[in-house]
Amino acid sequence: MTHTPIALVVAVARNGVIGRDGDLPWRISSDLKRFKQVTLGKPVVMGRKTWDSLPRKPLPGRVNIVVSRTLAEAPDALVRPDLDSALQAAHGAAMAEGAPEICVIGGAQIYAAVLDRAARIYLTEVELEPEGDSRFPELDPAVWREVSAEHVARGEGDDAAFTARVLERV
């Protein structure tokens, strides 16, 4: 069976923080638009805490797959008890929908567990250093190469400016 490539989609502060108390420690409307553009039409895999943090469930226009040992079901989403079965469901959804990749959207434990299998990272580097309890794993520069970068100035509805990078596995 051919596997669909896995991409991580993540926003990380300068200090590595990606979350605080089950939510993002910033509001950046410009990056949320980019997130939607990157993930639309692709299966998204997330942990239960990420699912719980979504203001609008499920994310529209995407097959939502939640990894959870405790959640029995989630409205209009697939729930799988472990990462492997979630990725298997995502591969099936990607094949059925003709999606070019699977997007893993968090949180920290899911990112850490899937990093070695990822082919691409859509990395938003947020120009803040907030307090937080959730961090993105360190990236090995020998494993990842930058294929694009775009600096985005702080706009209306943004707590900070950011740089949108796309990294691919070497």
Handedness of CA 144, 15, 56, 154 (dihedral sign): negative
Q: What are phi and psi of 135, to 5 degrees?
A: -130, 155
Entry pTM: 0.97
Report pLDDT digits (tens) over 79-130.
Answer: 999 999 999 999 999 999 999 999 999 999 999 999 999 999 999 999 999 9
User: What is the token pair recorded at 160?
Assistant: 């900070």
Report pLDDT digits (tens) over 126-154.
Answer: 999 999 999 999 999 999 999 999 999 99
Res 3: pLDDT: 84
Collect all residues with Cβ–Cβ distance below 8 Å to 32 and sequence separation of at least 6. none
For 113, the 3-state DSSP assignment is helix
Return the percent helix, strand and coil in the chain, to nearest 5: 25, 35, 40
Rounded distance, CA 50 to CA 106, Å? Answer: 6
The partner residues of 104 in beta bridges, in order of sequence, read 8, 45
User: What is the token pair recorded at 19?
Assistant: 């979350």
Rounded distance, CA 28 to CA 12, Å? Answer: 12
Phi-psi sector, 28: left (phi>0), alpha (psi -120 to 50), beta = beta
Res 2: pLDDT: 57
Q: Is the peptide bond before 19 cis (omega within 30 degrees of 0)?
A: no
Domains of the chain, first to last = 6-169 (3.40.430.10)
For 61, the 3-state DSSP assignment is coil
